[in-house]
A and B are shown apart, each in its own frame.
Chain A
């Protein structure tokens, strides 16, 4: 087996077993054996995320702990590897992320942020309980192509101070072709068409998948 493939296999197995120490050990041993930091991020960490997304789409029951750990390890490895890159990596896009107004749930956002970092997407975390005005103002200030809104409750997903108001503000300011909206969180998991009701451009089933959905949206606004 190609050495990189066996590293990927060992890393994936650690992720699926929510074994952080095991995953970091695989990475550190690979670096010590001469694998470049670039290959660690782009040929181990990112493919592992894609593999999890593929498994989820094929009805593998990936659970919240695995999503959390995938993002956590991706964050730790990416932050450790980037300073060791031969050249500063180019930014693939910019995103602002937060939970909808009235919503204090931060876990989904954290998973998404971890997955975006490994994709070289610059993320501005606006925190929890974010007003629609702030989402739009910060997106403009950061030159973000995507606003990501997390909502764990039905009223914060559908309510007048959530995505619907963000869409309205983007329209009023003539920004809705330049800035896309992605949503995620429990209510969307239980009603897959809800993202259309709240006038988002896309939704993601889980935090790991959100990384790819956002990457695709960024390509659309370039």
Chain B
């Protein structure tokens, strides 16, 4: 039986497999799988690992997630208050940075793997690696230095600092965030993560103009990634469009996978990538909550037909809201397996 890892390797190398890789970002749904609240679910690495393995087995997609929730990174940098919901992802409730003075005081932990707030993720990774290592790619989520400040001080205050604040303070914060990034990605790699989702909303011209992208975002991406390399790194702009920046990101960093926004034009993305990297075509899974069976199948078919020609393509999901009915998840995945079949097999 072909594994998810083999499908991914085939896609990366531009070879045919039985079908294209299908990545599904199931996170909060794990709590439902184990019959517990979202807060309880995210309290233990064992729970997250167990649910990830169960859901992958149940639905048959190709990846596993070690991600708990995005605010975990803020916890590693001192956040003590997370707002849990019963039907959605946890939110950072108390920002670590409230004043510019807090930026001066911000301390990046030397040893991420030894940090108490990282232990449950490590436990999750250990279990995933033991149970499915080498068979199914294990994904970790790492926020870029340009975007991490939004988790530490809120998007509003970060945009204010970035656009009209003192440049020295901005760069002090970015330097600390980049230092954190490099340590965090190393910790994930050492713990066995195969795929590193490089989450960078500020790497999209939906967020910043091209001038700021070139003058600020790109140099900080280089500082984030160049020391450790881009093995397994996926460029993802948090559902924002990225086709306008692919060329520059590829040239400056050499990232090998581009996970498009549902709002990106897939044909255009593939054309820019021109076979040099893997391209992820992503479904608008916020609409998946209300779509009919036919609408889901048509959309999956459209995405795959747009991206599969020429190979080096995978089908993926975005934020996968908790409210998506299980039947719609199945319909989407079955359609992806059906339309994503490689014809040469």
Hey, which bits of chain A sit against chain B, CB under 8 A? 17-18, 20, 61, 63-66, 68-69, 72, 102-107, 110, 129, 153-156, 158-159, 186-187, 190-191, 194, 197
9-residue interface stretch from B51-59, B153-161, B246-254, B267-275: B153-161
Closest to B87 in A: A155
* In-complex Cβ contact of B88 among A61, A66, A155, A194 (8 A): A155
Residue contact B164 to A65, C-beta cutoff 8 Å: no
Contacting A at CB under 8 A, from B84-115, are 85, 87-89, 91-93
A107 to B160, CA, bound (A): 10
Q: Contact between B205 and A61 (Cβ–Cβ < 8 Å)?
A: yes
Question: A155 is contacted by which of B206, B211, B262, B321 (Cβ under 8 Å)?
Answer: B321
Q: Are B154 and A104 in contact (CB under 8 A)?
A: yes
Chain A hits for B155, CB < 8 A: 105-107
CB distance from B124 to the nearest CB of A (A): 23
CB distance from B250 to the nearest CB of A (A): 20
Known contacts A72-B164, A102-B88, A104-B92; is-contact A154 B321 (Cβ 8 Å): yes
- Give the Cβ gap from B285 to chain A, nearest Cβ, in Å: 9
Determine whether the beta carbon of A107 is less than 8 Å from that of B159: yes
Contact B323 A154 (CB under 8 A): yes
Flag if B156 contacts A191 (CB, 8 Å).
no
Cβ 8 A contact of B156, one of A69, A110, A129, A156: A110
Instruction: Please give, as numbers and ranges, the residues of chain A lying within 8 Å of B164 by CB-CB distance.
Output: 20, 69, 72
Interface string of B170-199 (1 = CB under 8 A from A): 000000000000000000000000000000
| B212, CB-defined interface residue at 8 Å | yes
- 3 closest pairs, A vs B, by CB? A155-B88, A154-B321, A107-B156
Given contacts A64-B159, A105-B154, 18 further A-B contacts (CB under 8 A): A20-B164, A65-B162, A65-B209, A102-B83, A104-B91, A104-B154, A106-B154, A107-B159, A153-B88, A153-B89, A155-B85, A155-B89, A156-B85, A158-B289, A159-B87, A190-B263, A191-B290, A197-B290
Asked if B315 is at the interface (CB within 8 A of a chain A CB), the reply is no
Bound form: Cα–Cα A104–B84 in Å: 12
Are A191 and B286 in contact, CB atoms less than 8 angstroms apart? yes
B322 at the interface (CB under 8 A from A): yes
B159 / chain A contacts, CB cutoff of 8 Å: 64-65, 68, 107
Task: Contact check, A64 vs B323: say whether CB atoms are below 8 A apart.
Answer: no
Report B53 CB to chain A, min CB distance, Å: 25
Bound CA–CA A191/B85 (angstroms): 22
Q: Does B167 reach chain A (CB closer than 8 Å)?
A: no
Contact A64 B208 (CB under 8 A): yes
- Residues of A near B88 (CB, < 8 A) are 102, 153-156, 159
Shortest distance between the CB of B12 and any CB in chain A (Å)? 28
Cβ A154 vs Cβ B319 within 8 A: yes
Docked pose: A216 CA to B58 CA in angstroms = 49
| B284 at interface, CB cutoff 8 A | yes
Contact yes or no, A17 B209, CB < 8 A: yes
Indicate whether B330 reaches chain A with its CB closer than 8 angstroms. Answer: no
